[in-house]
């Protein structure tokens, strides 16, 4: 029953998507608006099909319907309810189903939001593009990635269960969902970008229509990336949170393109510049989500985060190629009409800073992409398997990261068109002194190392610049009786919150990477040892047994506080380490068990990692996502005077009290 119900849902979604594409296409070809006004109806049927299939899959997992091959491979009778539910995205077929569900939800929401403009060919083309994407994913489920395929041969009495790493921490319930909400969310701005190129309506209006969609997709992706790092830290037992793994890189690439777009789109809205660049960034962000799915779900790259191999790799790669060819072809076709009406007046201006900022993001993405796909090219050419390790990524991205921190501080202080020397000096003086003061204080406190000190100094510079903008926005809001709290809303002010979050992450990364300490202790019961200012005492170990796992749990007392790292054994799997972590504002103490001798007075081998400021990584990530949400909420602005209107020299810049009027929320966004 579950399989039949799921297949009906897949068939319904596919039929609705194909019918929508045909109907809207005919309507656009014949000029019959009555046909393409039905886009919302087709989107709702696609969503209904996706929901039906999802309900069928979850029911099959919860009742342990092992007649379905996917359930037999990713579920067992001992699997806890939480991990039975999350089993849907434990492997390729279920992940495609989750993708289709989220995509259908976005399409239903998009067509509902734009329902009053359903007669607009631009909206119709956007709906058509979105439904074409839905056709691809539902066709995958109807063909090579069928999540409801029947098990071959006799139905087993029990299943294999999820991968042990996917049933050892509840973060698995959130990380993939937010990641896919971000990935799939880029479908909406991508659809509008393609629709703009097809219709030839290349004015700036569509940017305003899709800005919030992009912001929310970017925020979801940010949360997904941060939760992925947290999951890696809590589950994999290596004491790290980012290892430049191919799956991690696959999530980072569209995030970098989306970040670049959210900066450069302001230049297009304000000055009409960077049109080709912005379209290219949106197409790149969406296409990289498809490439990321190929890299993580095809089995072509070895990754600690990849839990499935499949034969859909060529299909995903073909769709990626189609997206790139169509996008680049349309941009080339409309090339003459995409020319900007003007140029950047001066290098030292906000648009000049945003251009450099975008080039840095593009360079960052290129470095990560080359390092990720290089092993594929080598293997394709000579059959040799190679890996690109952390030294390459750290060496190549570190200078770019420092440059981005610098421009994060400078850009908000720059006016549009041209910056006078005195204005720039006045606006950056306090942030610069703060950055220098941070370095001095760190040195006096005994902090050493050029790289972390530079990161702390630039972080202070950027944070002070963002806080300056927020203070000025608060003063401006108060002057127009809008309430200082309104200074947190709007793209510019929310963007400053994002900048603060990124600074917190950057500083925490620099501290944890530069000053972390690792060692391995072999201790007998009752034995104590001092390391890095902490006293570790091994008390002993005991056996534990749960329905889905068993193993040995050690008791280690650190400075009087008990820790319980364990070695867990799941059905038909080798033992995996379950870390014990204590987090504080200052540092994390991280213990894993390498080996336990269960004989009386037998020793245990404990891996110890002491890292400062790890907790601030998660705080910074949350602050970044929160800022993106604030940026999507409109700020209340007073009516502008002539000197504040777009195009006026220095317009859009918050000014100090007494130096002239300033609109609430003006400044650099994120």
pLDDT tens column, 378-436: 877 777 777 788 899 999 999 999 999 999 998 888 877 776 667 778 888 999 999 99
Identify the pLDDT of residue 48: 97
CA gap 246, 288 in Å, rounded? 13
User: Which two tokens mark 219?
Assistant: 């925020």
Q: What is the CA radius of gyration of the chain?
A: 27
Checking if the pLDDT of 649 tops 50, the result is no
State the pLDDT at residue 661.
33
The Cα–Cα gap between 206 and 392 comes to 39
pLDDT band at 204 (very low <50, low <70, confident <90, very high): low
Residue 349 pLDDT: 79
Position 419 scores a pLDDT of: 65
Looking at residue 648, what is its pLDDT? Answer: 36
Q: Give whichever of 47-56, 68-77, 234-243, 275-284 has the largest mean pLDDT.
A: 47-56
Crossing angle (nearest 10°) for helices 275-297 and 187-199? 130
Question: 68: which DSSP letter?
Answer: B
Give this prediction's pTM.
0.89
pLDDT tens digits, residue range 616-644? 999 999 999 999 988 888 765 543 433 33
pLDDT on residue 86: 92
Residue 564: pLDDT band with limits 50, 70, 90: very high
What percent of the chain lies above the pLDDT cut of 70? 89
Percent of the chain residues topping a pLDDT of 90? 54
Q: Is pLDDT at 131 greater than 90 in this prediction? A: yes
How far is Cα 512 from Cα 243, in angstroms, rounded to an integer? 13
Closest CA to 193 of 254, 293, 126: 126
Point out the least confidently predicted range of 74-78, 152-156, 264-268: 264-268
Residue 366's pLDDT is what?
Answer: 95
Predicted confidence at residue 299, as pLDDT, reads 59
User: How sure is the predictor about 659, in pLDDT bands with cuts at 50, 70 and 90?
Assistant: very low
Q: Calculate mean pLDDT across residues 519-526.
A: 92
- Separation between Cα atoms, residue 432 and residue 409, nearest integer Å: 9
User: Which residues, 6 or more positions from 593, have their beta carbon under 8 angstroms from its beta carbon?
Assistant: 552, 554, 565, 566, 567, 577, 604, 605, 606, 607
Percentages helix, strand, coil for the chain, rounded to the nearest 5? Answer: 60, 10, 25
pLDDT of 314-370, one tens digit each? 888 899 999 999 999 999 998 777 776 667 666 677 888 888 989 999 999 999 999
Element (H, E) at 552: strand 549-558
290 confidence band (pLDDT: 50, 70, 90)? very high
Does 538 have pLDDT greater than 80? yes
Half-sphere exposure of 441 (CA within 13 A, CB side): 9
Per the listing, tokens 């990692």 go with 609
d(CA 99, CA 10): 13
Rounded-to-integer distance, Cα 507 and Cα 455, Å: 6
pLDDT over 70 (residue 652): no
- Report the alpha-carbon distance of residue 280 to residue 292 in Å, rounded: 18
Contact 501, 627 (CB under 8 A): yes
Among the ranges given (201-205, 306-310, 373-377, 552-556), the one the predictor scored with the smallest mean pLDDT: 306-310
Range of lowest pLDDT (106-110, 314-318, 617-621, 657-661):
657-661
Q: Domain ranges in the chain?
A: 1-162, 177-344, 519-612
Token pair 């080996």 is at which residue?
A: 595
Task: Look at residue 656 and tell me whether its pLDDT is greater than 60.
Answer: no
Q: pLDDT tens-digit profile of 579-621?
A: 999 999 999 999 999 888 888 888 999 999 999 999 999 999 9
Burial class (CB in 10 A: 0-12, 13-18, 19+), 561: exposed
Residue that the structure tokens 């068993």 belong to:
550
What per-residue confidence (pLDDT) applies to 306? Answer: 45
- Res 11 pLDDT > 70: yes
Say if residues 267 and 351 touch (Cβ distance below 8 Å): yes
Tell me what the pLDDT averaged over the chain comes to: 85
pLDDT tens digits along 565-577? 998 888 766 678 8
């Amino acid at each position: 029953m579950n399989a039949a119900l799921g297949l009906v849902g897949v068939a319904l979604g596919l039929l609705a998507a194909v019918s929508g594409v045909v109907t809207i296409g005919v309507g656009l070809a014949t000029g019959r608006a009555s046909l393409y006004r039905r886009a919302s109806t087709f989107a709702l049927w696609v969503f209904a099909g996706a929901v039906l299939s999802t309900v069928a899959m979850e029911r099959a997992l919860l009742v342990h319907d092992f007649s379905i091959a996917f359930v037999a491979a990713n579920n067992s009778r001992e699997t806890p309810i939480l991990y039975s539910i999350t089993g849907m995205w434990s492997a390729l077929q279920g992940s495609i189903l989750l993708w289709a569900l989220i995509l259908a939800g976005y399409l239903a929401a998009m067509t509902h939001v734009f329902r009053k403009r359903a007669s607009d060919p631009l909206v119709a083309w956007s709906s058509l593009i979105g439904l074409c994407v839905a056709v691809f994913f539902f066709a995958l489920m109807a063909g090579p990635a069928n999540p409801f395929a029947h098990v071959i041969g006799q139905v087993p009495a029990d299943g294999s269960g999820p991968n042990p790493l996917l049933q050892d921490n509840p973060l698995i319930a959130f990380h993939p969902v937010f990641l896919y909400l971000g990935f799939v969310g880029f479908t909406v701005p991508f659809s509008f970008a393609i629709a703009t190129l097809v219709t030839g309506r290349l004015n700036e209006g569509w940017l305003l229509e899709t800005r919030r969609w992009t912001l929310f997709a970017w925020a979801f992706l940010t949360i997904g990336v941060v939760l992925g790092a947290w999951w890696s830290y809590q589950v994999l037992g290596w004491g790290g949170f980012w290892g430049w793994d191919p799956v991690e890189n696959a999530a980072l690439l569209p995030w970098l393109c989306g970040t670049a777009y959210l900066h450069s789109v302001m230049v297009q809205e304000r000055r009409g510049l960077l049109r080709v660049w912005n379209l290219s960034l949106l197409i790149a962000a969406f296409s990289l989500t498809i490439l990321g799915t190929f890299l993580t779900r095809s089995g072509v790259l070895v990754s600690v985060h990849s839990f499935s191999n499949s034969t859909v790799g060529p299909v995903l790669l073909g769709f990626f190629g189609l997206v790139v060819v169509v996008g680049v072809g349309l941009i080339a076709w409309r090339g003459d009409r995409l020319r900007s009406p003007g140029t950047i007046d001066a290098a030292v201006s906000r648009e000049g800073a945003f251009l450099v900022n975008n080039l840095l993001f593009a360079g960052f993405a290129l470095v990560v992409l080359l390092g990720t796909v290089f092993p594929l090219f080598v293997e394709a050419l000579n059959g040799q398997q190679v890996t690109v390790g952390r030294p390459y990524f750290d060496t190549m991205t570190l200078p770019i990261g420092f440059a981005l921190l610098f421009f994060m501080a400078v850009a908000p202080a720059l006016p549009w068109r041209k910056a006078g020397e005195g204005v720039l000096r006045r606006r950056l003086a306090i942030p610069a002194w703060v950055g220098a003061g941070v370095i001095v204080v760190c040195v006096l406190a005994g902090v050493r190392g050029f790289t972390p000190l530079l990161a702390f100094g630039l972080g202070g510079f950027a944070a002070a610049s963002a806080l300056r903008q927020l203070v000025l926005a608060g003063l401006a809001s108060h002057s127009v009786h809008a309430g200082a709290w309104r200074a947190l809303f709007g793209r510019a002010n929310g963007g400053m919150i994002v900048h603060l979050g990124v600074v917190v992450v950057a500083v925490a990364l620099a501290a944890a990477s530069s000053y972390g300490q690792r060692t391995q202790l072999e201790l007998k019961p009752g034995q104590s040892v001092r390391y890095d200012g902490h006293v570790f005492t091994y008390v002993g170990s005991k056996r534990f047994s749960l329905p889905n796992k068993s193993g040995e749990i050690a008791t280690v007392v650190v400075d009087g506080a008990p820790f319980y790292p364990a070695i867990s054994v799941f059905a038909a799997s080798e033992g995996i380490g379950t870390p014990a972590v204590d987090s504080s504002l200052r540092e994390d103490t991280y213990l894993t068990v390498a080996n336990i001798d269960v004989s009386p007075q037998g020793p245990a081998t404990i891996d110890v990692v002491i890292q400062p400021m790890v907790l601030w990584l998660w705080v910074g990530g949350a602050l970044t996502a929160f800022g993106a949400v604030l940026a999507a909420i409109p700020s209340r602005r007073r009516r502008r005077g002539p000197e504040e209107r777009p195009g006026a020299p220095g317009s859009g810049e918050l000014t100090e009290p007494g130096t002239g009027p300033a609109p609430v929320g003006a400044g650099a966004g994120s």
